Amino acid sequence: MAHSDEENHVTVYQRPWWMGVRQYWPLLVFVFFIVLAAFLYANGGKYRVMTGTAERIVENIAPLESARIESIHVKVGDRVKAGDIIAQLDTGIIDAENAVQKERIVRASLEAKLEQLTLERQFSSALQEAEQALREAKMDLRLNAVEHDALVKEIARLEPLQEKRLVSAESLAAKQARESVLRETLKLMPDHIEALAADVERAKEQQATALARMDEMKANTASATDAQGEAIKLLNIRRDGYTLRAKQEGVVAEIDGQPGDVVEPGGTIASLLIQGPIRVVGFLPESDLSAVAIGTPANIYPTVSLRETGVISGRVAQVSPAVYSLPERASPIRGQVVRGRRVVLDLDEVVNLIPGETVSIEIESSLFTPISLTD
């Protein structure tokens, strides 16, 4: 009997507390992740991160009209100042146009002078002839009057002698006939002189008209010459444009043309990186309904220059009011088109970023303020 009691005895051991908790591990994991998400939302959600790029102002050296490249005066990496010659275009065609315009000016001037000289000589000659005829008529009038007076006296002296037959009748008759002709001529001479005087006045009027016409021709010629002179000035301005110069100080980044190439208007021959502070441009996706405000502080993390520059502080300087297609680097998926706003940031200090390198821009989300596109 005692042996039976010993066989039916069961020893009970107490289980550790952690063994009981282990069976609830799924619930514990769920609670852990809930707490972790709440912590990340409360702390990590204070910041927004945008992709951006470090940019410098680029000056493209390009002609205003089609031309052939004659020479290039720089190479990649050269530092140039404002006004330095970058490239020279062939000016052969524009030089030919300039020569044609100058030849037209000279020809027009010579033709106008020749026509003016012809008119001047023509009407001056007509006036001189009219005045000469008037002078001769007045001289004839005086001579005829003197001769007539002399004949009248001579006839008066010879008539008594002829009655006494001391002179021949034929001689007296000839003098009487001459006196009669002179008398009639003297009667007609005033009208003739008056007509000649009218001819002189008419010639003077014609000369005055011709002079006015010549003045008008001179004015027209001067106007045409001025117009052609302006055309030459424009050609010279165009010719100056065939010498491509740097407008600002910078470094030659690329050379896209070679001597002998024909470039179209606006075709880039060389590109210059303009000296000055680099600006950072961030890309805020359209899916983010908020926009940063002007003056919002930001931390910038360069991709390539991080070791040299560290984290860079800056502030928002510009925010595009409209939505644009953003560069591919702003898209989380390659090839996907992302639209959004461009955010320009000014750096608080001058740093040497590599133009074009990608940066990450961290902005405190609590400082985000909505911007209305209709304002």
Q: Are residues 108 and 203 in the same domain?
A: yes
**Which residues are within 8 A (CB) of 25 and not within 5 positions of it... i.e. 6 or more apart?**
none
In this structure, the answer to whether residues 77 and 100 fall within a common structural domain is no
Length of the chain: 375
Query: Do 113 and 232 lie in a common domain?
Result: yes
pLDDT at 84: 92
* CA atoms 50, 54, 59, 65: torsion sign: negative
Tell if the pTM clears 0.85, that is, is over it.
no
Query: For residue 250, what is the domain's CATH number?
Result: 2.40.50.100
Q: Which residue is listed with tokens 């008008």?
A: 216
Please check whether residues 114 and 128 belong to one and the same domain.
yes
**Same domain (yes/no): 233, 299:** no
The answer to whether residue 98 sits within a structural domain is: yes
311 forms bridges with which residues in the sheet? Answer: none
Query: For 290, phi and psi rounded to 5 degrees?
Result: -100, 165
DSSP label of 135: H
pLDDT at 22: 58
**Residue 372 resides in a domain:** no
Determine, yes or no, domain membership for 345. Answer: yes
235 plus 247 within the same structural domain: no
CA–CA gap between residue 337 and residue 287 (Å, rounded): 12
* Domain that includes residue 253, residue range: 63-88+243-268
Question: Does residue 227 lie in a domain region?
Answer: yes
CATH of the domain at 40: 2.40.30.170
- Judge whether 79 lies within some domain: yes
Same structural domain, 205 and 329: no
Distances (CA, A) of 318 to 269, 275, 291, 345: 31, 21, 11, 7
pLDDT at 73: 92
* pLDDT in the model for residue 27: 65
Mean pLDDT by groups of 10 residues along the chain of 375 residues: 49 53 61 62 57 85 89 91 91 82 79 77 82 88 89 86 81 86 88 87 81 75 70 81 88 89 90 80 73 81 86 88 76 70 87 84 62 41
DSSP 186-231: HHHHHHHHHHHHHHHHHHHHHHHHHHHHHHHHHHHHHHHHHHHHHH
Q: How many domains does the chain have?
A: 3
Picking from 250, 286, 261, the residue whose alpha carbon sits closest to that of residue 58 is 250
Predicted local confidence at residue 28, as pLDDT: 66
Specify the pLDDT at position 230.
76
The candidate with the shortest Cα–Cα distance to 273, out of 80, 88, 83, 89, is 80
Q: Are residues 74 and 166 in the same domain?
A: no
Phi-psi group of 171: left, alpha or beta (phi > 0 → left; psi -120 to 50 → alpha; rest → beta) = alpha
115 and 102 assigned to the same domain: yes
* Domain identity same for 69 and 28: no
What CATH number corresponds to the domain at position 154?
1.10.287
Boundary residue ending a domain (189, 221, 240): 240
DSSP 49-109: EEEEEEE--EEEE--SS-EEEEEE---TT-EE-TT-EEEEE--HHHHHHHHHHHHHHHHHH
Asked if residue 281 and residue 185 are part of one domain, the reply reads no
Q: What is the pLDDT at residue 374?
A: 41
Residue 1 lies in a domain: no
Which pLDDT score is estimated for 355? 80
Measuring CA to CA, which residue among 132, 119, 125 is closest to residue 209?
Answer: 119
In DSSP terms, 4 is beta-bridged to none
Q: Is residue 328 part of a domain?
A: yes
Is residue 356 assigned to a domain? yes
pLDDT at 334: 66
* Pair type for strands 339-347 and 58-61: unpaired
DSSP structure class, residue 166? S
- Shared domain for 225 and 357, answered yes or no, is no
Residue 373 in contact with residue 304, Cβ under 8 Å? no
